[in-house]
Structure 1
């Protein structure tokens, strides 16, 4: 029997979660090929870090592969030797925040379990996807694989170096990608450091530096100077539901007013603002898709930075590190635009235009860029994606967040047509869905795409058009 060939490109969380969900469907007419150069699946940018200071950003009880498995990662982790070896992962309220690599191990354990209980054919190809044509995927090593359904699980391109750093980006004392292994280990413990960006990656960098015994001053710079908020640590709170409102808010401005009203209502019930934001997150995709394109752009231009620091929170352990560094003045936050960077002898001079007016000069020994993945450059970052774009098979979404898809996560061509054989899973589809950067939304999306893939009937490529590849 000729099986339908589903090829997944990308073996981080999105691609691995999709493979697990497909295996659980146990459709023996399907064969899965996952293209991922890393030896270990389930890692990607987020979970490949080996630094013990890097922890998951939400309690383990809120990370799972599907809604009916709530708490599964928490239960799994508490049974591992790593739990006993890392007492700092356990908070006083009983929640655990494991080191990030533990979640990748959990995913691989779930993959092994799914393989044992499934008759679906599965192979992990340790290679880079380079091209797609005539129903075949070609890899960097020259192999080719037949494709009936192609799924793009490519989410996080490398950061783009801001133009102000072009003159110094090749300097050994400038870290342009802090996620590279050992990127921070060469920094002297007494060095004065400038970190560009004040978001989640900055928090991880500060935690890493502190673990390494760094003593020098750290300057973190962003236009608004906003830090990620901490997750709740203390008594457990009931789930909050937004107060009923008729008619429902329709614009970004109306939603902002509505959320603020609910924060006041929650406070009157002795509930923190986090429970309100969590309910907005639960409804995030529905809220996002009710906005027209102009309102979506208005959100990204005006409210996204504020949403990000309240939605994408950090573990209490990391929050304590930041608080300690701020209290001792080792860490200083600057709300400013970086106007210029240049060498002065053996240091870097930074000129800042302060948000509240005036300028400031800083002299530092090292610079670390934490501006995050360049999602607007996603298609240009991968040879396979540029190949698909050149063939008019995919196009960027109108907001520049990733790849344009329809409500079924199928790619949309530049002409506006739907490519029914090409799917996008994970954050690259967030232009359509909005809330697709954190769990459990990405897990739910992977499950939804898996259901669509196995429930569709396609003539296998070998029957459709016999192809002799040289």
Structure 2
């Protein structure tokens, strides 16, 4: 008997879209739309050896039921850096991108890849086409029909800026080219992207002074060096979800208890991670706003940590004076000769005029309006089939990722996967969380479940 498989269109071929496609192989007729290479996406498309994963290799398998899949693959690669004598392994991101591409190549016979973007998605009426629910039109005008559409669009690259004086997209190779080895630079942002850019510059032979700014002037924190401690037990009382202030008091108290037991604060953050989505869902909108306004930076600092190897290099930069972190913001800039004059407003008060060869924006993948204005999201928003989440973090979805329309009702057949579900889940930007979300969606698709309670 021929099995009637669901027909699924996945829009976006970064990690989220690739993970879902791999888990649907043989369970659905999948068409994946991605104009670039399938797998690496913005996060893992780098070729710089200094760019390391910020999650240990043991946590980077796209398959929840095969957690060691990537670590086993990495161990067999002759060009992989040797593992540390003690503690977890943080692999180069370029190798993880290659891993995803190899997984895709192995499954490509079961999954159709359209190497073009999608320009429009339309919901069909009763009896339209082949009875499918949606019509998908790609950038070349080719039309496809599908039972379900999955929006797996993740990070968006920033704009070009005003090259060569202001580089808006730090992932564009041109952002780091054409610089004298001793050229002074200004990096706007002090997070993980700044670490990537600074280490890539140094590996290219750049030795000039670098000033990096952010609102608080906080540098990224490191994972534990050496053997990883187990996650600290952080149970929540059933039905009791602390507010922002209570949650941070709880974290501080548990960090003190962990320290008294000889365990680092990182174990406490790792222990609370599985509870973050539950805590976020339990907060009213006002409490979520309070978190974003007062606690977001502190949480991200402790949650998104760098590999110990990268942290050691940043420490050496600080010790040598090669990196100067400042709590400041960029007020304005202007071309001055062959370089740039930047006016900085210091958090402690006053301004500083800084002369540099180039400004590089290191604020991470574009949040702004990029995802709202990209096809096909923009069209679906205009038609009311999608709605923006109240905090502007992404699309309005149910906790299961089912799209909600402008009236707040589930849209049967449109699912959202990955970072654009942050408004509903918050903790949904890293591989360990997205792979679980992708596996749950794959199960629902295989079982033909559309209507998920909001």
1:463 — aligned with what? none
CA-to-partner distance for each residue in 1:339-373, whole Å, 9 max, x for gaps? 22122333322222211222222111111011222
Residue 264 and residue 411 in structure 1: after superposition, are their counterparts in 2 closer, same or farther (change >3 A)? same
User: In the aligned structure 1, how far is the partner of 2:303 from the partner of 2:86?
Assistant: 21
8 Å contact kept, 2:181–2:208: yes
1:462 — aligned with what? none
User: In the aligned structure 1, how far is the partner of 2:348 from the partner of 2:84?
Assistant: 38
- For residue 439 of structure 1, the aligned residue among 422, 426, 431 is 431
Residue 343 in structure 1 maps to residue 335 in structure 2: yes
Secondary structure at the counterpart of residue 42 of structure 2: helix
1:142 — aligned with what? 141
CA-to-partner distance for each residue in 1:222-260, whole Å, 9 max, x for gaps? 111111111111133233112666884521000000000
Q: How many matched pairs?
A: 438
Secondary structure at the counterpart of residue 217 of structure 2: coil
1:32 — aligned with what? 30
How high is the TM-score relative to the length of structure 1?
Answer: 0.89
1:412 — aligned with what? 404
1:157 — aligned with what? 156
2:131 — aligned with what? none
Residue 52 in structure 1 maps to residue 46 in structure 2: no
CA-to-partner distance for each residue in 1:44-88, whole Å, 9 max, x for gaps? 1001111111111121012122333223211210111222xx34x
1:103 — aligned with what? 96
8 Å contact kept, 1:243–1:262: no
Secondary structure at the counterpart of residue 269 of structure 2: helix
Residue 383 and residue 247 in structure 1: after superposition, are their counterparts in 2 closer, same or farther (change >3 A)? closer
CA-to-partner distance for each residue in 1:187-218, whole Å, 9 max, x for gaps? 22110000000111011000101101111000
- For residue 321 of structure 2, the aligned residue among 323, 329, 348 is 329
CA-to-partner distance for each residue in 1:5-35, whole Å, 9 max, x for gaps? 1000000000000001112xx33xx310000
Q: What's the C-alpha RMSD, in Å, of the aligned pairs?
A: 1.9
1:257 — aligned with what? 249
User: In the aligned structure 2, how far is the partner of 1:143 from the partner of 1:186?
Assistant: 41
User: In the aligned structure 2, how far is the partner of 1:339 from the partner of 1:173?
Assistant: 16
- For residue 63 of structure 2, the aligned residue among 66, 90, 102 is 66
1:127 — aligned with what? 116
2:127 — aligned with what? none
Residue 272 and residue 431 in structure 1: after superposition, are their counterparts in 2 closer, same or farther (change >3 A)? same
How high is the TM-score relative to the length of structure 2?
Answer: 0.92
Secondary structure at the counterpart of residue 332 of structure 1: strand
8 Å contact kept, 2:35–2:114: yes
**Aligned 1:303-382 pairs, distance under 5 A:** 303-382=295-374
User: In the aligned structure 1, how far is the partner of 2:367 from the partner of 2:382?
Assistant: 19
CA-to-partner distance for each residue in 1:272-296, whole Å, 9 max, x for gaps? 1000011111211111111111111
Secondary structure at the counterpart of residue 445 of structure 2: helix
1:6 — aligned with what? 8
8 Å contact kept, 2:87–2:225: no
- For residue 74 of structure 2, the aligned residue among 72, 77, 87 is 77
CA-to-partner distance for each residue in 1:310-353, whole Å, 9 max, x for gaps? 11111122112211111101100010122221223333222222
User: In the aligned structure 2, how far is the partner of 1:277 from the partner of 1:95?
Assistant: 17
8 Å contact kept, 1:376–1:401: no
8 Å contact kept, 2:6–2:446: no
Secondary structure at the counterpart of residue 138 of structure 1: strand
For structure 2, the 5+ residue unaligned runs are: 125-133
8 Å contact kept, 1:266–1:273: yes
User: In the aligned structure 2, how far is the partner of 1:246 from the partner of 1:211?
Assistant: 50
8 Å contact kept, 1:35–1:128: yes
Residue 241 in structure 1 maps to residue 233 in structure 2: yes
Secondary structure at the counterpart of residue 376 of structure 2: helix
2:129 — aligned with what? none
- For residue 222 of structure 1, the aligned residue among 210, 214, 227 is 214
User: In the aligned structure 1, how far is the partner of 2:247 from the partner of 2:14?
Assistant: 33
User: In the aligned structure 2, how far is the partner of 1:300 from the partner of 1:125?
Assistant: 38
